Amino acid sequence: DPEGFTLVELLVSIAILTLVMSVTYGIFAATTKAWQRGKIVSESLQHGDFIMEQLVMGLRSAYYRNAASGFWLTDGGNGPYSADAISWVKLGPALVGARSEVAKGSHRIKFTVETIDGSPAATVRAWSPESYLQPDEFDADNVPPVVLSRHIVGFNCRIGYQEQGGMMDWKEDWEKTNTLPRTIELTIYLKPRNDNEEPIEMRRCVSIPVSENK
């Protein structure tokens, strides 16, 4: 018999090679997709950790001088795409940055999630709480927002009320706007990997020490 491959053997070899290449490509594609998903989740978690730590530091540096230094909470719904807004007077660079002019003294900030250029983003506004330092007809809503992260799609805040027996009752509102709450629950929701998935939830409880000007 002459040496070489028959047509049938050649076709079988090509079929096997095609199958092996298809399986290899499928494994490679799945691995690449998983790596991309992991990268997206890791990036979102890093943004979430940063925003959460900034919020915690900002709340722990709350500065209470008088009734005008109280904590404000605006309820913006519940769930992954809630958009609560919180505002308080604080000291230090948390949320505003060390180079900000307002960081040199006490300043009021407002943190929320709002739509910027068609997509949700975590934002902060900051201004002096002293009325004599503001121009005539000052309106805090006109202070331009600074985008902290576009990986945050929702924000929810609840206030903790200590009950008898040590239990904590959580409420969505805060009516004592001339004072500071002692315990706050913060929940931020991170952008999901895919549009058909639920946002990733991060939650922290914060105890607020009160710093008064003596």
pLDDT tens per residue across span 153-212:
999 999 998 877 778 899 999 999 999 999 999 999 998 877 788 899 999 999 987 654
Looking at the DSSP assignment, which residues form a beta bridge with residue 202? 188
How far is residue 65 from each of residues 100, 116, 214, measured CA to CA in Å?
Answer: 21, 33, 9
Residues in Cβ contact with 211 at an 8 Å cutoff, skipping those fewer than 6 apart: 61, 62, 63, 64, 91
The confidence score (pLDDT) of residue 3 equals 56
Structure confidence at residue 36 (pLDDT): 65
Is the pLDDT reported for residue 132 higher than 80?
no
Instruction: Tokens for 41, please give them.
Output: 């989740």
- What is the reported pTM? 0.78
Rounded Cα distance, 191 and 65, in Å:
37
Residue 35 has pLDDT above 70, yes or no: no
Distances (CA, A) of 78 to 36, 93, 147: 30, 29, 22
Q: Helix, strand, coil: what percent of the chain each, to 5?
A: 30, 30, 35
Q: What is the pLDDT of residue 214?
A: 40
Q: What is the mean pLDDT of residues 106-124?
A: 95
For residues 62 and 90, is the Cβ–Cβ distance under 8 A? yes
Asked whether 179 and 70 are in contact (CB, 8 A), the reply is yes
Residue bearing the bigger pLDDT, 163 or 49: 49
pLDDT band at 43 (very low <50, low <70, confident <90, very high): confident
Looking at residue 141, its pLDDT comes to 81
pLDDT at 59: 96
pLDDT, mean of residues 93-112 = 93
Looking at residue 129, its pLDDT comes to: 84
- Pick the closest to residue 71 from 178, 161, 187, 157 (CA basis): 178
Q: What is the mean predicted confidence (pLDDT) over 28-35?
A: 71
Average pLDDT over residues 3-15: 73
Q: Which two tokens stand for residue 196?
A: 């058909």
How confident is the model at residue 37, as a pLDDT?
Answer: 63
CA angle 166, 168, 169 (to 5 degrees): 140
Instruction: Give the CA diameter of the chain.
Output: 107
pLDDT recorded at residue 125: 96
Strands 211-212 and 63-64: parallel
Percentage of the chain modeled with pLDDT above 90:
54
Q: Where are the alpha helices (DSSP H) in the chain?
A: 7-60
